[in-house]
């Protein structure tokens, strides 16, 4: 299965004009999905709208998820990602719109009648039941035979790496082990859809990284269609086939992690995914922007002359030039004064004031090896280059 490095935007519907843009974006998303030739979507979210009183939680959401795909719903608190997951699961009713799973409209079906397994942030294990009994719970409710239940539980314990833990109670297991039990329970009935509601957020950093790798590998091995909610951008970038970035109830961008990181469609997405430097400026020509007294060549710009814009570039894309570097003769070379240095273990994050634009700070990241070759003392001056092909320009 391969995924295109294209992406789509669905802006908030605030006017007839923005409604037209939204329809164009949805049409583009559908045509993009057809071009990937992945067959029919397994899960379709069609124009789902959700309000709580006067508060609009979701604004006409459209999303197709394909068989075997791992999709992450990503965004800040309050963006609507958990509400959308709960609507997919039937734990929350949508105000309007439809949920279609495996070609069947399940919009009005209760959660118990839908084909999914779910893992919650809090694990939600029965404290008075062993790991084996927790995993077997759904199988018992489905009236499976004792032999089939025993065989299936043993398979699942092995699948999640918990052989020998079957007789342990949740209180006798670590957070990571409890989450593995919760995952095994969600998979017990072989559902067509796996839903993960921030399953790693309660774990410490090392366990979180290890378990996200295990979940990704398991999902690929089983080929189960998966939708995960997370506010952790590193989780989405590491685990997802596609990420759905949400903001204030609408989808800001859908795309592969690489596309969203390298080609964000809006300043919000650019700022939310990773670290981004922003400089405010004005378009001089089709390929030049003035930021303060700095003139930057840019390779991509759709704004017109004299239009206010925001220039964006990732810290890792800014080049540090040595005094004898031949690149000093190129465009977009800026002198910047070191203001702060942050040691990150394997790298340094350096904050600087660029000369000619002293109102806006920029950040660069250096490996330990790179840092050893330059003067990083406070107030020292560095020569930086902003490669034109790495600069993005957004309308202000």
End-to-end CA distance of the chain: 38
326 three-state secondary structure: helix
Number of continuous H segments (helices) and E segments (strands) in the chain: 10, 21
Distance (Å, rounded) from C-alpha 212 to C-alpha 198?
11
Q: Identify the residue with better confidence: 151 or 373.
A: 151
Mean pLDDT for the stretch of residues 132-151: 95
* 96-101 and 104-105 strand pairing: antiparallel
Pairing of strands 225-230, 193-197: parallel
Residue 349: beta bridge partners?
342, 365
Residue 61 phi, psi dihedral angles, 5° rounding: -80, 130
pLDDT over 60 (residue 154): yes
Rounded CA separation 347/316 (Å): 11
Q: For residue 156, what is the DSSP state?
A: H
Question: Given this model, what pLDDT does residue 301 score?
Answer: 83
Q: CB neighbours (10 Å) of residue 355?
A: 14
Tell me the pLDDT tens digit for each residue of 313-364.
999 999 999 888 899 999 999 999 999 999 999 899 999 999 877 679 999 9
Per-residue tokens: 254: 């859908």
What pLDDT, on a 0 to 100 scale, did the predictor assign at position 9? Answer: 39
Phi and psi for 206 in degrees, rounded to 5?
A: -65, -45
Asked if the model's pLDDT at residue 227 lies above 90, the reply is yes
Helix (H) or strand (E) holding 198: none
Burial (0-12, 13-18, 19+ Cβ within 10 Å), 169 = middle
Tokens 């570097």, residue located:
325
Span 117-140, average pLDDT: 94
Residue 202: its pLDDT value, please?
80
Torsions phi, psi for 182 (to 5 deg):
-60, -40
- Please name the helix (run of DSSP H) or strand (run of DSSP E) that holds residue 208, with its range, or none: helix 205-222
Phi, psi of 378 (to 5 degrees): -60, 140
**Average of per-residue pLDDT values in the chain:** 89
Can you tell me the distance from the alpha carbon of 162 to that of 164, in angstroms, rounded to the nearest whole number?
Answer: 6
Residue tagged 């942030």 (tokens): 121
Whats the size of the chain, residue-wise? 396
- The pLDDT tens digits of the residues spanning 15-37 come to 333 333 333 334 334 434 434 56
List beta partners, residue 336. 354, 382
CB of 220 within 8 A of CB of 244? no
Per-residue pLDDT reduced to its tens digit, 29-78: 443 443 456 789 999 999 999 999 999 999 999 999 999 999 999 999 99
> Looking at residue 205, what is its pLDDT?
85
Q: What are 175-191's pLDDT values in tens digits?
A: 999 999 999 999 999 99
**Residue 134, pLDDT above cutoff 60:** yes
Q: What percent of the chain has pLDDT over 90?
A: 77
Phi, psi for 283 (deg, rounded to 5):
-70, 130
How many alpha carbons lie under 13 Å from residue 123 in its C-beta half-sphere? 19
Q: How far is CA 383 from the centre of its chain?
A: 34
DSSP string, 16-77: HHHHHHHHHHHHHHHHHHHHTT--S-SEEEEEEEEEETTEEEEEEEEEEE-TT-EEEEE-ST
Residue 235's pLDDT is what?
A: 93
**Phi and psi of 219, rounded to 5°?**
-60, -40
pLDDT for 358 equals 61
260-286 per-position pLDDT tens digit:
999 999 999 999 999 999 999 999 998
Q: What is the mean pLDDT of residues 122-133?
A: 93
Model pLDDT, residue 16: 36
Instruction: List the Cα angle 272/20/36 in 5-degree steps.
Output: 65
pLDDT score at 121: 86
Name the token pair of 112. Answer: 């118990």
Mean pLDDT (whole number) for 240-267: 96
Q: What integer pLDDT is reported at residue 36 of this predicted model?
A: 54
Is residue 199 over pLDDT 80? yes
Which stretch of DSSP H or E encloses residue 177?
Answer: helix 175-187
Q: Rounded to two decimals, what is the model's pTM?
A: 0.85
């Amino acid at each position: 299965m391969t995924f295109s490095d294209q992406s789509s935007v669905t802006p908030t519907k605030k006017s007839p004009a923005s409604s037209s843009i939204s329809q164009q974006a949805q049409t583009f998303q559908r045509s993009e999905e057809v071009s990937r030739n992945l067959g029919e979507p397994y899960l379709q979210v069609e124009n789902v709208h959700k309000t709580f009183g006067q508060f609009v939680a979701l604004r006409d959401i459209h999303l197709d998820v394909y068989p075997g795909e791992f999709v992450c719903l990503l965004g800040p608190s309050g963006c609507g990602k958990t509400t959308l997951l709960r609507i997919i699961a039937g734990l929350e009713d949508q105000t309007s719109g439809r949920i279609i799973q495996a070609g069947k409209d399940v919009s009005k079906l209760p959660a118990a009648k839908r084909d999914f397994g779910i893992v919650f942030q809090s694990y939600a294990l029965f404290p008075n039941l062993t790991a084996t009994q927790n995993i077997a719970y759904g199988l018992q409710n489905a009236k499976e035979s004792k032999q089939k239940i025993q065989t299936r539980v043993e398979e699942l314990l092995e699948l999640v790496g918990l052989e020998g833990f079957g007789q342990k109670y949740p209180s006798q297991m670590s957070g990571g082990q409890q989450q593995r039990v919760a995952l095994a329970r969600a998979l017990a009935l072989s559902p067509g859809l796996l839903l993960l509601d921030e399953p790693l957020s309660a774990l410490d950093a090392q366990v979180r990284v290890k378990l996200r790798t295990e979940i990704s590998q398991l999902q690929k091995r089983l080929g189960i269609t998966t939708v995960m909610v997370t506010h952790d951008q590193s989780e989405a970038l590491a685990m997802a086939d596609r990420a759905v970035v949400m903001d204030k109830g609408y989808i800001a961008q859908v795309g592969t992690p690489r596309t969203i990181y390298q080609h964000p469609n809006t300043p919000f997405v650019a700022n939310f995914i990773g670290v981004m430097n922003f400089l405010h400026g004005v378009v001089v020509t089709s390929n030049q922007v003035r930021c303060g007294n700095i003139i930057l060549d840019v390779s991509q710009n759709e704004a017109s002359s004299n239009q206010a814009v925001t220039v964006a570039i990732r810290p890792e894309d800014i080049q540090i030039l040595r005094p004898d570097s031949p690149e000093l003769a190129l465009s977009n070379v800026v002198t910047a004064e070191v203001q702060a240095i942050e040691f990150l273990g394997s790298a340094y994050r350096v904050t600087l004031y660029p000369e000619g634009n002293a109102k806006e700070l920029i950040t660069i990241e250096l490996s330990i090896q790179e840092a050893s070759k330059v003067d990083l003392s406070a107030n020292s001056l560095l020569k930086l280059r902003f490669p034109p092909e790495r600069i993005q320009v957004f309308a202000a």
